[in-house]
Structure 1
Amino acid sequence: MDVQLFIPCFIDQLYPSVAFNMVKVLKKAGCNVKYNANQTCCGQPAFNAGFFEEAKSVCKKFLEDFKSDDYIVAPSASCTGFVRNYYGKLFENSSLVHDVKAIGERIYEFSDFMVNVLKVEDIGASFEGTATYHDSCAGLRECKIKEEPRKLLAHVKGLQLIEMEDTTTCCGFGGTFAVKFNPISVAMADQKIGHALDTKAEYLISTDMSCLMHIGGCASKKGAPIKSLHLADVLASGWEE
Protein backbone atom coordinates (compact mmCIF):
# COMPACT_ATOMS: atom_id res chain seq x y z
CA MET A 1 0.00 0.00 0.00
CA ASP A 2 1.33 3.44 -0.98
CA VAL A 3 1.21 6.00 1.84
CA GLN A 4 1.99 9.71 1.71
CA LEU A 5 3.55 11.19 4.84
CA PHE A 6 2.38 14.48 6.26
CA ILE A 7 4.88 15.72 8.84
CA PRO A 8 3.60 18.70 10.88
CA CYS A 9 5.79 21.80 11.20
CA PHE A 10 6.75 21.38 14.84
CA ILE A 11 7.65 17.71 14.40
CA ASP A 12 9.75 18.56 11.35
CA GLN A 13 11.58 21.30 13.23
CA LEU A 14 11.69 20.05 16.83
CA TYR A 15 10.94 16.31 17.00
CA PRO A 16 12.07 14.71 13.71
CA SER A 17 12.73 11.37 15.46
CA VAL A 18 8.95 10.96 15.85
CA ALA A 19 8.55 11.15 12.07
CA PHE A 20 11.39 8.67 11.46
CA ASN A 21 9.92 6.25 14.00
CA MET A 22 6.50 6.46 12.36
CA VAL A 23 8.11 5.67 9.00
CA LYS A 24 9.90 2.69 10.59
CA VAL A 25 6.60 1.29 11.90
CA LEU A 26 4.67 1.91 8.68
CA LYS A 27 7.35 0.15 6.64
CA LYS A 28 7.27 -2.86 8.97
CA ALA A 29 3.49 -2.92 8.54
CA GLY A 30 4.01 -3.29 4.79
CA CYS A 31 3.56 0.27 3.52
CA ASN A 32 5.45 1.90 0.67
CA VAL A 33 6.11 5.27 2.27
CA LYS A 34 6.41 8.43 0.16
CA TYR A 35 7.35 11.95 1.21
CA ASN A 36 6.70 15.09 -0.81
CA ALA A 37 9.48 17.48 0.24
CA ASN A 38 7.46 20.46 -1.03
CA GLN A 39 4.94 20.11 1.81
CA THR A 40 4.74 22.85 4.42
CA CYS A 41 1.98 23.59 6.96
CA CYS A 42 -1.65 22.45 7.04
CA GLY A 43 -2.73 26.04 7.83
CA GLN A 44 -4.01 25.48 11.36
CA PRO A 45 -1.92 28.14 13.18
CA ALA A 46 -3.15 30.95 10.91
CA PHE A 47 -6.74 29.67 11.05
CA ASN A 48 -6.77 29.44 14.84
CA ALA A 49 -5.38 32.97 15.10
CA GLY A 50 -8.23 34.30 12.93
CA PHE A 51 -6.23 34.91 9.74
CA PHE A 52 -8.62 33.04 7.47
CA GLU A 53 -7.43 34.35 4.10
CA GLU A 54 -3.81 33.60 4.96
CA ALA A 55 -4.89 30.14 6.13
CA LYS A 56 -6.68 29.52 2.83
CA SER A 57 -3.46 30.19 0.90
CA VAL A 58 -1.58 27.63 2.97
CA CYS A 59 -4.45 25.14 2.75
CA LYS A 60 -4.61 25.46 -1.04
CA LYS A 61 -0.94 24.51 -1.18
CA PHE A 62 -1.64 21.51 1.05
CA LEU A 63 -4.39 20.36 -1.33
CA GLU A 64 -1.97 20.68 -4.24
CA ASP A 65 0.85 18.86 -2.45
CA PHE A 66 -1.40 15.91 -1.58
CA LYS A 67 -3.62 15.56 -4.62
CA SER A 68 -2.75 11.93 -5.38
CA ASP A 69 -5.16 9.13 -4.41
CA ASP A 70 -2.83 7.71 -1.73
CA TYR A 71 -3.68 7.58 1.94
CA ILE A 72 -2.07 10.41 3.94
CA VAL A 73 -0.75 9.55 7.39
CA ALA A 74 0.33 12.05 10.05
CA PRO A 75 1.76 11.63 13.57
CA SER A 76 -0.69 14.27 14.79
CA ALA A 77 -4.42 14.15 15.48
CA SER A 78 -4.41 17.94 15.72
CA CYS A 79 -3.31 18.53 12.12
CA THR A 80 -5.37 15.61 10.82
CA GLY A 81 -8.46 16.88 12.63
CA PHE A 82 -7.98 20.36 11.19
CA VAL A 83 -7.82 19.09 7.62
CA ARG A 84 -10.84 16.81 8.13
CA ASN A 85 -13.07 19.26 9.97
CA TYR A 86 -12.16 22.80 8.96
CA TYR A 87 -11.07 22.72 5.32
CA GLY A 88 -14.73 22.28 4.43
CA LYS A 89 -15.60 25.51 6.24
CA LEU A 90 -12.78 27.43 4.56
CA PHE A 91 -13.63 26.26 1.06
CA GLU A 92 -17.42 26.05 1.32
CA ASN A 93 -19.10 26.85 -2.02
CA SER A 94 -15.72 27.03 -3.78
CA SER A 95 -14.43 25.06 -6.76
CA LEU A 96 -12.23 23.07 -4.35
CA VAL A 97 -15.07 21.57 -2.35
CA HIS A 98 -14.72 18.13 -3.97
CA ASP A 99 -10.94 18.10 -3.41
CA VAL A 100 -11.54 19.01 0.23
CA LYS A 101 -14.04 16.17 0.68
CA ALA A 102 -11.67 13.68 -0.95
CA ILE A 103 -8.65 14.65 1.13
CA GLY A 104 -10.71 14.51 4.32
CA GLU A 105 -11.46 10.87 3.55
CA ARG A 106 -7.81 10.00 2.80
CA ILE A 107 -5.99 11.62 5.72
CA TYR A 108 -5.48 9.61 8.91
CA GLU A 109 -3.81 10.03 12.26
CA PHE A 110 -1.13 7.34 12.72
CA SER A 111 -2.87 5.07 15.27
CA ASP A 112 -6.20 5.34 13.45
CA PHE A 113 -4.52 4.26 10.23
CA MET A 114 -2.67 1.35 11.86
CA VAL A 115 -5.74 -0.11 13.57
CA ASN A 116 -8.62 0.77 11.26
CA VAL A 117 -7.02 0.73 7.80
CA LEU A 118 -4.05 -1.65 8.04
CA LYS A 119 -5.79 -3.77 10.72
CA VAL A 120 -2.47 -4.08 12.59
CA GLU A 121 -2.36 -3.92 16.38
CA ASP A 122 0.82 -5.88 17.19
CA ILE A 123 3.94 -4.58 15.45
CA GLY A 124 6.31 -6.62 17.63
CA ALA A 125 7.44 -3.73 19.82
CA SER A 126 8.88 -4.08 23.30
CA PHE A 127 9.39 -1.33 25.85
CA GLU A 128 10.11 -1.89 29.52
CA GLY A 129 8.35 0.49 31.90
CA THR A 130 5.11 1.86 33.25
CA ALA A 131 3.16 4.49 31.36
CA THR A 132 -0.04 6.46 31.41
CA TYR A 133 -1.87 7.78 28.36
CA HIS A 134 -3.08 11.30 27.54
CA ASP A 135 -6.05 11.64 25.18
CA SER A 136 -5.54 14.80 23.15
CA CYS A 137 -8.58 16.99 22.50
CA ALA A 138 -8.08 16.68 18.75
CA GLY A 139 -7.72 12.92 18.96
CA LEU A 140 -10.89 12.46 20.96
CA ARG A 141 -13.15 15.12 19.55
CA GLU A 142 -11.97 15.72 15.99
CA CYS A 143 -10.56 12.31 14.96
CA LYS A 144 -12.75 10.19 17.29
CA ILE A 145 -9.72 8.24 18.52
CA LYS A 146 -9.70 6.62 21.95
CA GLU A 147 -9.25 2.85 21.79
CA GLU A 148 -6.85 2.79 18.81
CA PRO A 149 -3.66 3.89 20.61
CA ARG A 150 -4.55 1.76 23.62
CA LYS A 151 -4.94 -1.32 21.41
CA LEU A 152 -1.47 -0.72 19.97
CA LEU A 153 0.09 -0.12 23.38
CA ALA A 154 -1.58 -3.25 24.82
CA HIS A 155 0.58 -5.35 22.49
CA VAL A 156 3.89 -3.73 23.47
CA LYS A 157 5.85 -6.34 25.41
CA GLY A 158 7.07 -5.13 28.80
CA LEU A 159 4.88 -2.02 28.91
CA GLN A 160 2.34 -1.60 31.70
CA LEU A 161 -0.32 1.00 30.92
CA ILE A 162 -2.04 2.66 33.89
CA GLU A 163 -5.00 4.94 33.25
CA MET A 164 -4.89 8.30 34.99
CA GLU A 165 -7.80 10.30 36.36
CA ASP A 166 -9.48 12.73 33.92
CA THR A 167 -7.45 11.41 31.00
CA THR A 168 -9.80 13.15 28.55
CA THR A 169 -9.32 16.62 30.08
CA CYS A 170 -7.35 19.18 28.02
CA CYS A 171 -3.67 19.61 28.86
CA GLY A 172 -3.89 23.37 28.36
CA PHE A 173 -1.77 23.77 25.22
CA GLY A 174 -4.29 24.71 22.53
CA GLY A 175 -1.68 26.34 20.28
CA THR A 176 -1.84 30.12 20.71
CA PHE A 177 -4.03 29.60 23.82
CA ALA A 178 -0.84 28.72 25.73
CA VAL A 179 0.63 32.11 24.74
CA LYS A 180 -2.47 34.29 25.15
CA PHE A 181 -3.68 32.71 28.38
CA ASN A 182 -0.43 31.43 29.86
CA PRO A 183 -1.48 31.24 33.56
CA ILE A 184 -4.60 29.20 32.71
CA SER A 185 -2.63 27.02 30.30
CA VAL A 186 0.07 26.25 32.89
CA ALA A 187 -2.54 25.51 35.58
CA MET A 188 -4.23 22.99 33.26
CA ALA A 189 -0.88 21.34 32.52
CA ASP A 190 -0.09 21.18 36.24
CA GLN A 191 -3.39 19.38 36.84
CA LYS A 192 -2.62 16.90 34.05
CA ILE A 193 0.88 16.31 35.42
CA GLY A 194 -0.54 15.74 38.89
CA HIS A 195 -2.92 13.07 37.62
CA ALA A 196 -0.08 11.42 35.68
CA LEU A 197 2.18 11.40 38.75
CA ASP A 198 -0.59 9.86 40.85
CA THR A 199 -0.33 6.71 38.71
CA LYS A 200 3.40 6.38 39.56
CA ALA A 201 4.06 5.93 35.83
CA GLU A 202 7.49 6.65 34.39
CA TYR A 203 6.19 7.79 31.01
CA LEU A 204 3.30 9.79 29.58
CA ILE A 205 2.34 8.75 26.05
CA SER A 206 0.11 10.48 23.49
CA THR A 207 -0.60 10.72 19.77
CA ASP A 208 0.09 14.47 19.78
CA MET A 209 3.57 15.92 20.18
CA SER A 210 2.06 19.38 20.70
CA CYS A 211 0.42 18.21 23.93
CA LEU A 212 3.57 16.36 24.96
CA MET A 213 5.72 19.42 24.29
CA HIS A 214 3.52 21.50 26.61
CA ILE A 215 3.18 18.86 29.33
CA GLY A 216 6.85 17.92 29.11
CA GLY A 217 7.98 21.54 29.37
CA CYS A 218 5.82 22.19 32.42
CA ALA A 219 6.89 18.90 34.03
CA SER A 220 10.56 19.72 33.48
CA LYS A 221 10.15 23.15 35.06
CA LYS A 222 8.45 21.56 38.08
CA GLY A 223 11.10 18.87 38.30
CA ALA A 224 8.38 16.21 37.92
CA PRO A 225 9.83 12.70 37.31
CA ILE A 226 7.82 11.76 34.23
CA LYS A 227 8.97 11.60 30.61
CA SER A 228 6.89 12.33 27.52
CA LEU A 229 6.85 9.90 24.60
CA HIS A 230 4.99 9.89 21.29
CA LEU A 231 3.16 6.66 20.43
CA ALA A 232 5.44 6.18 17.40
CA ASP A 233 8.53 6.22 19.65
CA VAL A 234 7.11 3.36 21.71
CA LEU A 235 5.98 1.27 18.75
CA ALA A 236 9.39 1.61 17.10
CA SER A 237 11.19 0.25 20.16
CA GLY A 238 12.59 -3.22 20.73
CA TRP A 239 13.11 -4.37 17.15
CA GLU A 240 15.41 -3.62 14.22
CA GLU A 241 14.44 -2.70 10.68
Structure 2
Amino acid sequence: MTDRPLALVTGASRGIGAAVAEALSDTHRILLGGRDAESLAALAARLPDAEPWPVDLSDEAAVAEAAAGIDRLDVLVHSAGVARLGEVAGSPAESWRANFEVNVVAVAELTRLLLPALRSANGHVVVINSGQGLSAREGWGPYAASKFGVRAFADVLRAEEEGNGLRVTSVYPGRTDTEMQQAVVAGEGGEYDPAKYLRPESVAGAVAAAVLAGPDAHLTDITVRPRPHR
Protein backbone atom coordinates (compact mmCIF):
# COMPACT_ATOMS: atom_id res chain seq x y z
CA MET A 1 0.00 0.00 0.00
CA THR A 2 1.64 3.22 -1.15
CA ASP A 3 -0.05 5.33 1.52
CA ARG A 4 1.87 3.62 4.32
CA PRO A 5 4.58 5.63 6.10
CA LEU A 6 8.07 5.49 4.63
CA ALA A 7 11.17 4.31 6.51
CA LEU A 8 14.78 4.45 5.34
CA VAL A 9 17.08 1.95 7.06
CA THR A 10 20.83 2.19 6.45
CA GLY A 11 23.03 -0.85 6.83
CA ALA A 12 20.07 -2.96 5.73
CA SER A 13 22.01 -5.58 3.77
CA ARG A 14 22.69 -7.67 6.90
CA GLY A 15 22.69 -7.85 10.68
CA ILE A 16 20.72 -5.38 12.76
CA GLY A 17 19.79 -3.23 9.77
CA ALA A 18 18.19 -6.13 7.90
CA ALA A 19 16.34 -7.18 11.06
CA VAL A 20 15.03 -3.63 11.56
CA ALA A 21 13.80 -3.50 7.97
CA GLU A 22 11.92 -6.76 8.49
CA ALA A 23 10.48 -5.60 11.82
CA LEU A 24 9.08 -2.42 10.24
CA SER A 25 7.93 -3.98 7.00
CA ASP A 26 4.45 -4.85 8.28
CA THR A 27 3.66 -1.19 8.92
CA HIS A 28 5.98 0.78 6.61
CA ARG A 29 7.26 1.05 3.11
CA ILE A 30 11.00 0.47 3.36
CA LEU A 31 14.00 1.94 1.59
CA LEU A 32 16.87 -0.50 2.11
CA GLY A 33 20.08 1.47 2.39
CA GLY A 34 23.48 -0.15 1.89
CA ARG A 35 26.34 -0.83 -0.49
CA ASP A 36 25.69 -4.51 -1.25
CA ALA A 37 23.13 -4.20 -4.04
CA GLU A 38 22.73 -7.97 -4.39
CA SER A 39 21.89 -8.46 -0.70
CA LEU A 40 19.52 -5.49 -0.75
CA ALA A 41 17.70 -6.87 -3.77
CA ALA A 42 17.33 -10.27 -2.11
CA LEU A 43 15.88 -8.69 1.03
CA ALA A 44 13.54 -6.46 -0.99
CA ALA A 45 12.18 -9.55 -2.72
CA ARG A 46 11.17 -11.01 0.66
CA LEU A 47 9.48 -7.91 2.05
CA PRO A 48 6.01 -6.73 1.00
CA ASP A 49 6.79 -3.11 0.11
CA ALA A 50 10.54 -2.51 0.02
CA GLU A 51 13.08 -1.34 -2.49
CA PRO A 52 16.87 -1.10 -2.48
CA TRP A 53 18.50 2.28 -1.82
CA PRO A 54 22.10 1.40 -2.75
CA VAL A 55 24.27 4.31 -1.65
CA ASP A 56 27.81 4.49 -0.32
CA LEU A 57 27.43 6.79 2.69
CA SER A 58 31.05 7.89 2.38
CA ASP A 59 30.32 9.38 -1.07
CA GLU A 60 28.85 12.78 -0.24
CA ALA A 61 27.75 13.55 -3.80
CA ALA A 62 25.96 10.21 -4.16
CA VAL A 63 24.25 10.63 -0.79
CA ALA A 64 23.08 14.13 -1.69
CA GLU A 65 21.70 12.94 -5.03
CA ALA A 66 19.85 10.01 -3.46
CA ALA A 67 18.47 12.07 -0.58
CA ALA A 68 17.18 14.73 -3.00
CA GLY A 69 14.62 12.23 -4.27
CA ILE A 70 12.92 11.92 -0.87
CA ASP A 71 10.47 14.72 -0.06
CA ARG A 72 8.70 13.09 2.89
CA LEU A 73 10.19 10.57 5.32
CA ASP A 74 8.54 9.15 8.43
CA VAL A 75 11.44 7.15 9.87
CA LEU A 76 15.21 7.25 9.41
CA VAL A 77 17.12 4.41 11.07
CA HIS A 78 20.90 4.73 11.16
CA SER A 79 22.20 1.17 11.40
CA ALA A 80 25.26 1.35 9.13
CA GLY A 81 28.52 1.40 11.03
CA VAL A 82 32.10 0.21 11.26
CA ALA A 83 34.14 -1.06 14.20
CA ARG A 84 37.87 -0.34 14.01
CA LEU A 85 39.19 -1.25 17.45
CA GLY A 86 42.53 -0.83 19.16
CA GLU A 87 44.40 0.55 22.12
CA VAL A 88 45.11 4.27 22.01
CA ALA A 89 48.86 3.66 21.76
CA GLY A 90 48.38 1.44 18.71
CA SER A 91 45.63 3.32 16.88
CA PRO A 92 46.85 5.67 14.14
CA ALA A 93 44.83 8.65 12.94
CA GLU A 94 43.35 6.55 10.12
CA SER A 95 41.59 4.28 12.63
CA TRP A 96 39.95 7.23 14.34
CA ARG A 97 38.95 8.81 11.03
CA ALA A 98 37.46 5.55 9.71
CA ASN A 99 35.18 5.21 12.73
CA PHE A 100 34.14 8.85 12.84
CA GLU A 101 33.52 9.13 9.08
CA VAL A 102 30.94 6.33 9.07
CA ASN A 103 29.64 6.33 12.64
CA VAL A 104 29.30 10.10 13.09
CA VAL A 105 29.88 12.21 9.98
CA ALA A 106 27.79 10.06 7.63
CA VAL A 107 24.97 9.92 10.20
CA ALA A 108 25.00 13.69 10.66
CA GLU A 109 25.15 14.46 6.94
CA LEU A 110 22.37 12.09 5.89
CA THR A 111 20.18 13.41 8.69
CA ARG A 112 20.90 17.00 7.69
CA LEU A 113 19.97 16.33 4.07
CA LEU A 114 16.73 14.58 5.05
CA LEU A 115 15.59 16.99 7.77
CA PRO A 116 13.09 18.79 5.50
CA ALA A 117 11.52 15.44 4.57
CA LEU A 118 11.47 14.33 8.21
CA ARG A 119 9.95 17.60 9.39
CA SER A 120 7.21 17.28 6.75
CA ALA A 121 6.18 13.97 8.31
CA ASN A 122 6.77 14.81 12.00
CA GLY A 123 9.25 12.01 11.60
CA HIS A 124 11.49 9.87 13.75
CA VAL A 125 15.27 9.42 13.70
CA VAL A 126 16.66 6.26 15.30
CA VAL A 127 20.40 5.91 15.89
CA ILE A 128 21.72 2.41 16.54
CA ASN A 129 24.49 3.15 19.00
CA SER A 130 26.34 0.60 21.17
CA GLY A 131 27.08 -0.22 24.77
CA GLN A 132 30.40 1.46 23.97
CA GLY A 133 28.47 4.71 23.60
CA LEU A 134 27.62 4.54 27.30
CA SER A 135 30.74 3.05 28.87
CA ALA A 136 34.02 2.73 26.97
CA ARG A 137 36.20 -0.33 27.39
CA GLU A 138 39.95 -0.72 27.19
CA GLY A 139 41.01 -1.55 23.65
CA TRP A 140 37.93 -0.04 22.02
CA GLY A 141 39.09 3.60 21.94
CA PRO A 142 38.48 4.75 18.33
CA TYR A 143 35.14 2.95 18.08
CA ALA A 144 33.93 3.98 21.53
CA ALA A 145 34.84 7.61 20.90
CA SER A 146 32.77 7.60 17.71
CA LYS A 147 29.82 6.10 19.57
CA PHE A 148 30.04 8.75 22.29
CA GLY A 149 30.13 11.27 19.44
CA VAL A 150 26.98 9.98 17.76
CA ARG A 151 25.28 9.85 21.16
CA ALA A 152 25.96 13.59 21.50
CA PHE A 153 24.70 14.13 17.97
CA ALA A 154 21.40 12.41 18.78
CA ASP A 155 20.99 14.38 22.02
CA VAL A 156 21.58 17.69 20.23
CA LEU A 157 19.30 16.76 17.34
CA ARG A 158 16.54 15.90 19.80
CA ALA A 159 16.92 19.21 21.62
CA GLU A 160 16.90 21.18 18.38
CA GLU A 161 14.13 19.35 16.53
CA GLU A 162 11.59 18.20 19.12
CA GLY A 163 9.84 21.53 18.67
CA ASN A 164 9.54 20.72 14.96
CA GLY A 165 7.71 17.49 15.74
CA LEU A 166 10.64 15.08 15.42
CA ARG A 167 11.34 12.18 17.73
CA VAL A 168 14.95 11.03 18.18
CA THR A 169 15.84 7.70 19.75
CA SER A 170 19.24 6.25 20.60
CA VAL A 171 19.35 2.46 20.93
CA TYR A 172 22.29 0.97 22.84
CA PRO A 173 22.58 -2.77 22.10
CA GLY A 174 24.99 -4.99 23.93
CA ARG A 175 27.12 -7.35 21.89
CA THR A 176 24.97 -8.77 19.11
CA ASP A 177 25.29 -11.84 16.91
CA THR A 178 26.36 -10.23 13.63
CA GLU A 179 29.17 -10.52 11.10
CA MET A 180 30.74 -7.46 12.70
CA GLN A 181 30.71 -9.19 16.07
CA GLN A 182 32.33 -12.27 14.57
CA ALA A 183 35.15 -10.11 13.22
CA VAL A 184 35.57 -8.39 16.59
CA VAL A 185 35.78 -11.69 18.47
CA ALA A 186 38.26 -13.03 15.92
CA GLY A 187 40.38 -9.94 16.43
CA GLU A 188 40.26 -10.48 20.17
CA GLY A 189 41.41 -14.06 19.69
CA GLY A 190 38.29 -15.51 21.29
CA GLU A 191 36.01 -18.40 20.40
CA TYR A 192 32.71 -17.30 18.91
CA ASP A 193 29.56 -18.55 20.62
CA PRO A 194 26.40 -16.93 19.22
CA ALA A 195 24.42 -17.99 22.32
CA LYS A 196 26.32 -15.36 24.32
CA TYR A 197 24.99 -12.49 22.28
CA LEU A 198 21.78 -10.69 21.45
CA ARG A 199 19.94 -11.68 18.31
CA PRO A 200 19.57 -8.87 15.74
CA GLU A 201 15.81 -9.44 15.89
CA SER A 202 15.79 -8.50 19.57
CA VAL A 203 17.46 -5.17 18.82
CA ALA A 204 15.03 -4.63 15.95
CA GLY A 205 12.16 -5.22 18.37
CA ALA A 206 13.41 -2.33 20.50
CA VAL A 207 13.55 -0.09 17.43
CA ALA A 208 10.01 -1.06 16.45
CA ALA A 209 8.79 -0.33 19.99
CA ALA A 210 10.15 3.22 19.74
CA VAL A 211 8.84 3.81 16.22
CA LEU A 212 5.38 2.38 16.92
CA ALA A 213 4.91 4.12 20.28
CA GLY A 214 1.81 6.30 20.49
CA PRO A 215 2.03 9.94 19.47
CA ASP A 216 2.10 11.00 23.11
CA ALA A 217 5.27 8.98 23.79
CA HIS A 218 8.90 9.74 22.96
CA LEU A 219 11.30 6.90 23.76
CA THR A 220 14.59 8.75 23.84
CA ASP A 221 17.12 6.13 24.99
CA ILE A 222 16.81 2.34 24.94
CA THR A 223 19.45 -0.02 26.33
CA VAL A 224 19.29 -3.69 25.36
CA ARG A 225 21.57 -6.29 26.93
CA PRO A 226 21.94 -10.03 26.35
CA ARG A 227 20.63 -12.24 29.14
CA PRO A 228 23.32 -14.51 30.62
CA HIS A 229 20.75 -17.26 31.30
CA ARG A 230 17.91 -17.99 28.90
Both proteins in one fold, TM over 0.5: no
TM-score (norm 2): 0.40
TM-score (norm 1): 0.39
